[in-house]
Structure 1
């Protein structure tokens, strides 16, 4: 068993055991919030790592799913319809996937910074739509008193049950992203990222691949949006405003845009600083503190905390030059034994 496999197994055991040793605040507000935000950030990492595309529309796609679940499970002031929660979640994820495809149809016409700005414009357009529309989004107030469902006697509005739900969803999304990277679709996406002209010459439709990737990212963001809705118990235009939109980008960059696990590492760092900034600096200066941390990570490790950890590990890992004398000594010993 390799060291990487051992590390993943130990991490999984720690994640499962975490709610049995932590209090309710850490389980729900730190663990649950990290997994929800990390899943939304994972949708951005998926686009960036496998497709070379940066999007600032992932929080908006999460908001599509969140608003849909709230609309169909918690009507308020005559706005909304009641549906069983499984049907509401299915409709919400279908809508977020469709929204991702629509964003992709527009975004694939651009590249680089233009994709970033275009998706930001789409996100802000959705924010103002939710703010001003009362027939579907209930305007500034949004939807309140949205409760997580109960299944087989398990109430997911309790901290440990909710954490278990978030952990299961996060593991499923992470496994899907890592699996897709090894499929023909994932390999084609990486080829489109590295050399789109050559891939096109081989007969692939690069634009279609990228649109499909936006659809998958919309589904992942939608899952994170539903988890965030159930965590907060409400959703409003403030949930999809500019600050939450940038928060997703910061979490992804802090962890490492090239590493799927980095989405959750960055989200954990962001959530901890967000919750405990008052212990180090005035609450109103939270953005200053997280901004300084962001700058430090970008300056010293452009590929995030995961990249930094890998470089530190490589410093202490045995190199071929270090291991060669030991190997030569072992070979000599074996030869001596053979002679005797």
Structure 2
């Protein structure tokens, strides 16, 4: 159905709703990989995406010609991803030496530092204004920012990220990472390098976030400090948790719910006179309710519904379970 959506959906739906869903889903997928399989809740994933977005603007073309280097795409894109992965690896090297709330705090501190540094630096990041006019290259004669082309571009990378995480979760590295999550001392006693596995997980998650950051920059044709501000950093955590951290499809479910609320609930709140600033309150209330009834997010709620239906099917007419 997703492959055929451009045939019957409007440009707004396939570009803004679905394109944005796939992009946020990719970035949240990087958090899901770290938290779900590695037991490491990182709040720096949106910042890593921001690094990739800034690098594609600095190394490639933008309207800020005094800073952008204008290098060809086959140099700019790999370089942006390499720098994003290096940044994510460096953060991971620091964060894996902490646990629990301390991991959350150190990654949040790094995300905050990047936001303020980007906003105050005009030589490299162009300060508060950032970069605009950042467009994807026209490869094979295709305008990749056209709604249909961009939809398939984001769908491709969302599918690739989903399959990569699904494969890694069943590969020896993923199984070892889950073992490290459950019992790091036992895995170390068995000869596994716990720190190396955790840092490698951060590197792979940074690659996913970097891809999402480039796509996000191309979609909006701009990158600024606000793209990787504290609000978006927390939003990625909310998206991942609402969707569910147990399966790679969860971040995309959470992203779809978030995009729908962000797109339509904001206008509805303004229409009834509650003001657009109440949107974050709405997101927060929804987050609390979902986590209260199901710590595993929407996927957990769905699993509960399936289990309840299964119990009803095995009951005999007297109402007693067989």
- The TM-score, its normalising length taken from structure 2, stands at 0.93
Q: Distance in 1 between matches of 2:240 and 2:202?
A: 16
1:86 to 74, 77, 96: 74
My pick for the range that moved more, 107-116 or 285-294, is 285-294
Contact 1:56 1:116 in 2 (8 A): yes
Equivalent position of 1:233 in the other structure: 221
1:290 counterpart = 2:283: yes
1:113 to 98, 101, 118: 101
Q: Distance in 1 between matches of 2:97 and 2:51?
A: 23
Task: Please state whether the residue corresponding to 1:16 is helix, strand or coil.
Answer: coil
CA RMSD of aligned residues (A): 1.5
Matches within 5 A, 1:21-32: 21-32=8-19
Equivalent position of 1:315 in the other structure: 308
Q: Residues 296, 204 of structure 1: CA spacing in aligned structure 2 closer, same or farther, 3 A cutoff? A: same
Deviations 1:236-260 (A, max 9, x none): 1111110111110110011012221
2:156 to 168, 184, 191: 168
Q: Distance in 2 between matches of 1:312 and 1:204?
A: 39
Q: Distance in 2 between matches of 1:161 and 1:311?
A: 38
1:300 counterpart = 2:309: no
Equivalent position of 1:251 in the other structure: 239
1:129 to 99, 107, 117: 117
Provide structure 1 residue ranges, at least 5 long, that are not aligned to the other structure.
Answer: 1-13, 324-340
Q: Distance in 1 between matches of 2:149 and 2:209?
A: 21
1:36 counterpart = 2:29: no
Equivalent position of 1:70 in the other structure: 57
Equivalent position of 1:331 in the other structure: none
Q: What is the deviation of 1:94?
A: 0.9
Larger-gyration structure (1/2): 1
Equivalent position of 1:17 in the other structure: 4
1:224 to 188, 212, 231: 212
Greater than 6 Å deviation, 4+ residue runs? none
Q: What is the deviation of 1:79?
A: 0.8
Task: Please state whether the residue corresponding to 2:170 is helix, strand or coil.
Answer: coil
What is the count of residue pairs matched by the alignment?
Answer: 310
- The TM-score, its normalising length taken from structure 1, stands at 0.88
